[in-house]
Chains A and B, each alone.
Chain A
Amino acid sequence: MRLTYLEPKGIHASVKRTNPNFLNGVPEMLVLELLSRQEMYGYELVRAILERTKEKLTFGEGCIYPLLHWLEETRLVSSRRQEVEGRSRNYYQITPRGKKRLEELESEWKEVVAGVSLVMGGQHA
């Protein structure tokens, strides 16, 4: 699936015309899930999304930053500047509030998947 942009409140582009709410919260959930495992910087996060989704989700990589900054502004993640191997980077980590939000998103997502699976006769479960 080619996604033009990641948005905090949903993935738009190809799905926008048909159902803008279909994937609401998915980019937010993916980023929070990855950050709940370890702190990462922007490039690392994009690599992780591409690798773990087996490049099924692709997007303009610069667009990870509006999402990260939005998450930081809403205090779901925090960031700190750290130097690693001579290069200084902004590392993001999930906050307790972010963990709570992740739990909510996961539970909503599971409901969506369960609902869709029922309609599809369990073939995609």
Chain B
Amino acid sequence: MRDADPIEQLRRKLLRQGLPAAYVSRTARELSEHRQDLMVEAEENGLSGEAAERSVAERMGSFDELAARLSRTMRRSNWRGRHPVLTFCLLPIFTFLCGFLLVAWIGGAIGELAGWWKPKSTLGPDGLATVTTGVHVLRWGLFTAIPFWFCWLARNSFCGYKWGLATCLVFSLHGLVHSMSFTVPGDGRKGSLFWGYSTNLDWLGMMVPLLVFALFLIISRQTNASETRQEEIKA
């Protein structure tokens, strides 16, 4: 059944847009209290029933426009919200590049000093297998963690699901063309890491950020429910 209460509709609309549930509940509560005060004022002025409700509705203004204004105003209250394309489309890729290069560079330097990458590596076969796994875990870890983190940032900076999805789509395209291979030292050659972009499409790399977004939606809903409960207790 459709709920006719405009404040409840506004609450659902803001939650659907991906605003933090604690903020949405608090706003709905304030609006509801404001409406109650207007109702008391209308009754004191001799209005009752439908006439009072009409007067209150008129004074509160349009809830659709209010919902749009709330999300726009809150989004603009922070740097990320004022520069969403930079934050949610370019910065995640930059973070991935910097994060991967930094860790790979540190790992490479340590390995170089320890002689891991020499044709006759100081690491045994088990050690090299661990390093290989570590490199792949790093890549996939960043592929998962960065989109999730930016989705969370989008939610908490009032930018909503839209910009979280934008991050995941950009990351998905990036994953499609991103390629990495790691060869262990042996047979008279040094170990090497190839890292860059190629036309050999990586479908898994494309799917992972999209799955991360789906996971984020599920977790976000659970968080919304828990934040709403906490706000109700606080109220």
- Chain A interface residues toward B at CB < 8 A: 4-5, 7-8, 41-43, 46, 59-63, 65-67, 69-70, 73-74, 81, 87-90
Q: Note all chain B residues with C-beta closer than 8 A to A81.
A: 234-235
A70 to B62 CA separation, bound complex (whole angstroms): 19
B69 at interface by CB-CB < 8 Å: yes
B66 at interface by CB-CB < 8 Å: yes
Across the interface, B61 reaches (CB within 8 A) one of A59, A73, A87, A89, namely: A59
Q: Note all chain A residues with C-beta closer than 8 A to B78.
A: 73
* A61/B60 in contact, CB under 8 A: yes
Q: Note all chain A residues with C-beta closer than 8 A to B33.
A: 41-43, 87, 89
* B61/A90 in contact, CB under 8 A: no
A42 to B36 CA separation, bound complex (whole angstroms): 12
Q: Note all chain B residues with C-beta closer than 8 A to A60.
A: 59-62, 65-66
B27 at interface by CB-CB < 8 Å: yes
Across the interface, A63 reaches (CB within 8 A) one of B29, B66, B234, namely: B66
Which chain B residue lies CB-closest to A74? B77
A88 to B26 CA separation, bound complex (whole angstroms): 12
Q: Note all chain A residues with C-beta closer than 8 A to B59.
A: 60-61
B177 at interface by CB-CB < 8 Å: no
Q: Note all chain A residues with C-beta closer than 8 A to B60.
A: 60-62
Shortest distance from the beta carbon of B55 to any chain A beta carbon, whole Å: 11
* B30/A42 in contact, CB under 8 A: yes
Which chain A residue lies CB-closest to B70? A66
Which chain A residue lies CB-closest to B78? A73
B37 at interface by CB-CB < 8 Å: yes
Shortest distance from the beta carbon of A93 to any chain B beta carbon, whole Å: 15
B73 at interface by CB-CB < 8 Å: yes
B137 at interface by CB-CB < 8 Å: no
Chain B, 41-68, contact with A by CB distance < 8 Å: what is the 0/1 string? 0000000000000000001111101100
A60 to B63 CA separation, bound complex (whole angstroms): 9
A17 to B61 CA separation, bound complex (whole angstroms): 21
* B73/A43 in contact, CB under 8 A: no
Which chain A residue lies CB-closest to B35? A62
Q: Note all chain A residues with C-beta closer than 8 A to B66.
A: 60, 62-63, 65-66
Q: Note all chain B residues with C-beta closer than 8 A to A61.
A: 34, 38, 59-61
Across the interface, A90 reaches (CB within 8 A) one of B30, B38, B74, B76, namely: B30
A73 to B77 CA separation, bound complex (whole angstroms): 6
* B74/A70 in contact, CB under 8 A: yes
Shortest distance from the beta carbon of B33 to any chain A beta carbon, whole Å: 6
Q: Note all chain B residues with C-beta closer than 8 A to A90.
A: 26, 29-30
Shortest distance from the beta carbon of A16 to any chain B beta carbon, whole Å: 14
Q: Note all chain A residues with C-beta closer than 8 A to B235.
A: 81, 88
Shortest distance from the beta carbon of A54 to any chain B beta carbon, whole Å: 17
B218 at interface by CB-CB < 8 Å: no
B31 at interface by CB-CB < 8 Å: yes
A10 to B23 CA separation, bound complex (whole angstroms): 23
